[in-house]
Amino acid sequence: MNGGNNPGLSDGSSSDDELAIAARADRRAFGLLYRRYLDRVYRYAFSKTADPGMAEELTSTIFLDAFEGLNRYTPRGTFAAWLFTIARRRCADYHRSSPPLPLITEAVPSIVGRPEYEKDRKDSFLRLEKILTGLSQEELDMLRLRYAADLSHAEIGHIIGKSEAATKMAFSRLIRRMRGLWEFDDER
Amino acid sequence: MKDDTENLDSVLIEYFHAASPSDSFTSSLETRLAATHPDSDIALPAQRRLSVRLRFALIGILVALSLTLALLGPERVWAAIQQFWQRYIPGIGLVDETNTRILMEPVVHTEAGVTFEVQQFVATAEETSMLMVIREMPEIEVFAPESVRVISPDGRRIRMYTATFRRIWPACGSVDCQEPEEEPSDYELGYVFDPLPPDVYSAIVTVDLAGLVPGAEWSDRLELEIPLTPLAEAHDSTFDQLIYSPDASMSIGDMNLTVTNVVQAEDRTVLDMTWSMPQWDAFAQAAGVTLVDDQGRRYTPLPRTMDLDENFAVIATESPGSRLYLRNERWVFEALATDTRTLTLEIEGMRPRADAEGSFEFDLPAQPRDGDFVPIDETLNVAGGVLRVASVRFVQGTVEIAPRDATPTSLDDQLLIEVDFDVVEQPPYGTYESIMLEAGWTGPYWMYPDPINTESSGIRVTRLVYDPDRIWSNHVRIHLGDVTVYQEGPWTLSWDVPGR
């Protein structure tokens, strides 16, 4: 992106907060944030929709909302949590007219030239989706925020309104429960 | 040996990372963003929020001024000034009094057995906050935060800023409380919206009922009228509060605790604190906390729900060669006696806790059995200290399991793995207290909150259940998960209560 001139900014050394503050006047800074977070936001949107086109549309909306709302962000080291609060809100709009758990196995791109691996992967995904269908919306969202958005427990806690410790505990319980179901399924 | 795709953790990562944006989309959105101008005319809650903190900074100056004028007895003036500015509202937190309007009594409506209660509604110059409780709600299939809206009297929808949503668990008087078997059907929704216009003394809260009330259609909507009263005119005894910033600090080992705000209200006492800890990003849990007044009356923290103004973000500040982590915390106690002149905060000990982020590997014996011993001799940096993993032992034992939705039971004759640690160097924050071990192959017992512990060098260490059916390679890895360090006190911190 162009516009503005801030030679001190770089993707590697500037914190999210530094970029977010700079981006209020310098669109190039938002470009760095965009590149830093694009994959994570897209993955989160895709996990909510299982539709590449819809995931792109939601990703666009999320970044445009974030860009327009940058002045609302209070720089306290919580940019990722703030961005994914917007992402959750936008995806919730979509969810009002869609199933709560879109299954993504059939929608993910194939791995070219690896048919054996592809089959194993699909089997694992289907097995995982059997477990995911038994989880609550809150639990699913925690998984998306953790694995698709790569957020820390503290950031997830910030989004869902729990302390870091409580989030970590809830997440740990969830994974243990899933691990039991996973292994139970493995035994059958 | 099974491949990685059969491991849940790796499958979860692969599953949620399976898609990525196309290059054409990436560049087209980038171009679109570059052509978009940020809306500089929109209201700035961030800056307005800062203004509240600037006022606190000003309060800090007033504290210094009041100390200078202590001989003249200015404390009453100082406290009165702060009371003029700030009020504490349960569930919302500290709010500025100027131009603030509040809901004096909860607004309640029941629809098809589901009760909607707007408990708090606070409109400040900076933002509009609302705390809503929904009781007896069936399991939610889909909940969109936008199901709840605020409409100003002129029909304008007030834009939502943030929303939190949590179940209300039964009150628990102890940190050891277990979760009830059934999940509760009561929910608490906390919202922050853009500010209402300054001359507005009512609002409408609408709730889309579909998904929240059995049988509701998509078009069904509840409307609740919210009458608002200027906070400055609210003469309710609830707002007979003493609010001040003692700015009192103490050091606990390498940690520092500063009490930043105190609210002495009719029904509770609220303490806002900031913890700082160098180098280690740990969650610091205080043990044995008591607030003692000058008459020797003792108060312990109450279990509570969060306020909307609480910020749990960890702030890391860097300086050459060091990093400092800051966390905010709020404790609530019972109301103090009105004649309290001095307060002392007593803390028996501190338990910083965080991921150890360490692991070690070893080769299993051909057919492990009770008494087998595997020397390890590997040192790990954990929480700023150094631990030596001395050995792994196999022992026959009984494990207690407490499966979800089933009666707790015990399993005899299980082969367990115990890990022996030596403490090479204790961490700077105290002594190692407990370590939680984790491994991907530990079987279904591990999914239950089963405190299977053993002692090693004074450290409580979880044991792992060995299950040959789940171990696919003779080379295994054990992770060190949560590590807790204990720093024994006691520590005390005292401050004078300003006159009302």
Higher pLDDT, B207 or A133: B207
User: Has residue A1 been placed in a domain?
Assistant: no
What is the CB-side half-sphere exposure of residue B53 using CA atoms within 13 A?
9
Listed residues B193, B211, B236: the one ending a domain: B236
CB-CB: which of A34, A72, A128 is closest to B15?
Answer: A128
Res. B42: pLDDT tops 50? no
Which of A163-172, B56-65, B452-461, B487-496 tops mean pLDDT?
B487-496
Chain B neighbors of A70, CB-CB under 8 A: 38
pLDDT of residue B414: 80
pLDDT of residue B390: 95
Res. B385: pLDDT tops 70? yes
Q: Inter-chain contact B21–A144, Cβ cutoff 8 Å?
A: no
Listed residues B221, B236, B251: the one ending a domain: B236
Listed residues B212, B236, B260: the one ending a domain: B236
User: Has residue B467 been placed in a domain?
Assistant: yes
User: Has residue B260 been placed in a domain?
Assistant: no
Give me the residue label for tokens 């590449």: A52
Helix boundaries (H) for chain A: 16-23, 27-49, 52-68, 79-95, 115-132, 137-143, 153-160, 164-187
Min Cα separation A50/chain B (Å): 9
Chain B CA closest to residue A157: B312
pLDDT of residue A110: 56
Of A108-122, A159-173, B344-358, where does mean pLDDT reach its minimum?
A108-122
User: Has residue A156 been placed in a domain?
Assistant: yes
Q: Inter-chain contact A143–B16, Cβ cutoff 8 Å?
A: yes
Higher pLDDT, B89 or B162: B89
Work out the percent of chain B whose per-residue pLDDT is above 70: 77
Residue from B1, B4, B16 whose CB has the most chain A CBs within 10 Å, to mutate = B16
Give me the residue label for tokens 């961490």: B427
Min Cα separation A92/chain B (Å): 5
Chain A neighbors of B140, CB-CB under 8 A: 137
User: Has residue B84 been placed in a domain?
Assistant: no
CATH assignment of the domain containing A44:
1.10.1740.10
User: Has residue B125 been placed in a domain?
Assistant: yes
pLDDT of residue B99: 87
Q: pLDDT band for position B497 (50/70/90)? A: very high
Of A92-96, B38-42, B348-352, B412-416, where does mean pLDDT reach its minimum?
B38-42
B201 touches chain A (CB under 8 A): no
User: Has residue B120 been placed in a domain?
Assistant: yes
Supply the range of the domain harboring residue A29. Answer: 16-187
pLDDT of residue B70: 43
CATH assignment of the domain containing B191:
2.60.40.1640
Supply the range of the domain harboring residue B360. Answer: 355-486
Res. B49: pLDDT tops 60? no
Which of B255-269, B453-467, B473-487 tops mean pLDDT?
B255-269
CA distance B497 to B66: 13
**Which of B 412-431 lie inside 8 A of A, CB atoms?**
none
B458-483 pLDDT, tens digit per residue, is 898 888 878 776 666 788 888 888 89
User: Has residue A32 been placed in a domain?
Assistant: yes
**Which of B 344-383 lie inside 8 A of A, CB atoms?**
353
Q: pLDDT band for position B129 (50/70/90)? A: very high
User: Has residue A10 been placed in a domain?
Assistant: no
Mapping DSSP onto H, E and C, the string for chain B reads: CCCHHHCHHHHHHHHHCCCCCCHHHHHHHHHHHHCCCCCCCCCCHHHHHHHHHHHHHHHHHHHHHHHHCHHHCCHHHHHHHHHHHEEEECCCEEEECCCCEECCCCEEEEECCEEEEEEEEEECCCCEEEEEEEECCCCCCCCCHHHEEEECCCCCEECEEEEEEEECCCCCCCCCCCCCCCCCCCEEEEEEECCCCCCCCEEEEEEECCCCCCCCCCCCEEEEEEECEEHHHCCCHHHCCEEECCCEEEEECCEEEEEEEEEECCCCEEEEEEEEEECCCCEEEEEEEEEEECCCCEECCCCCCCCCCCCCCCEEEEECCEEEEEEEEEEEECCCCCCCCEEEEEEEEEEEEEEEEEEEEEECCCCCCCCCEEEEEEEEEECCEEEEEEEEEEEEEEEEECCCCCCCEEEEEEEEEEEEEEEEECCCCCEEEEEEEECCCCCHHHHCCCCCEEEECCEEEECEECCHHHCCCCEEEEEEEEEEEEEEEEEEEEEECCCC
User: What is chain B's mean pLDDT, rounded?
Assistant: 78
The number of folded domains in chain B is 2
A26-73 pLDDT, tens digit per residue, is 767 788 888 889 999 999 998 888 888 888 888 998 998 888 888 777
Chain A CA closest to residue B12: A147
Work out the percent of chain B whose per-residue pLDDT is above 90: 29
Q: Inter-chain contact B36–A68, Cβ cutoff 8 Å?
A: yes
**Closest alpha carbon to A145 in B111, B156, B12:** B12
pLDDT of residue B291: 95
A138-173 pLDDT, tens digit per residue, is 888 899 999 999 999 888 988 887 788 888 888 888
User: Has residue A4 been placed in a domain?
Assistant: no
Q: How far is CA B62 from CA A100, B58, B80, B477, in A?
A: 53, 6, 12, 57
Work out the percent of chain A whose per-residue pLDDT is above 90: 12
Res. B4: pLDDT tops 50? no
Stated pTM of the model: 0.58
Min Cα separation B269/chain A (Å): 21
User: What is chain A's mean pLDDT, rounded?
Assistant: 77
Mean pLDDT over B342-371 rounds to 89
Of B46-50, B393-397, B407-411, where does mean pLDDT reach its minimum?
B46-50
